[in-house]
Amino acid sequence: MAFADPQSITIDGTATSLARVMSGTEVGTFVSSDTKLRLEVVPRVSNRNRTVRSAALKNVKITSDPLVATTNVRVNDTIRLMIDRPADGYSDAEVVKQVTGFIAWLTANTNANLIKLVGGEN
């Protein structure tokens, strides 16, 4: 099964539609019309008898060069959720519960732990 086309990502209250531009057994890729946002969904089995599932949101923007104030540069970042588990031993339901708990931990108390993570705390 594949993710529906298009996908939608809401950032800061603005929804962006991402159209499927690539579909295969190794990756599904969705891109915004301005190509600034890219969603990559990767379901694969590694060579160590493990399954690896990941979703990555890549963002590109133009910003001022910190070294030359009159020059703009292209920068990008990637936010990724990766699930790496043995081929056997964990059910999908167990992993969903773990991911849900993990996201709840990050976003509890108005994103307190997410803010700490982004700020570089450990």
Phi-psi region of 121 (alpha: psi -120 to 50; beta: other; left: phi over 0): beta
pTM: 0.88
Domain ranges of the chain: 1-87, 90-122
Closest CA to 3 of 12, 22, 77, 108: 22
**pLDDT for position 69:** 85
Question: Would you tell me how many other CB atoms lie within 10 Å of the CB of residue 72?
Answer: 12
Residue 78 has a pLDDT of 98
CATH of range 1-87; options 3.40.50.620, 3.30.380.10, 3.30.1220.10, 1.10.3720.10: 3.30.380.10
Could you state, in chain order, the average pLDDT of each consecutive group of 10 residues for the chain (122 residues)?
92 97 90 97 85 96 92 96 94 97 97 97 96
What is the reported pLDDT for 4? 94
Residue 80 is predicted with a pLDDT of 97
Closest CA to 83 of 93, 63, 66, 98: 98
- What pLDDT sits at residue 45? 79
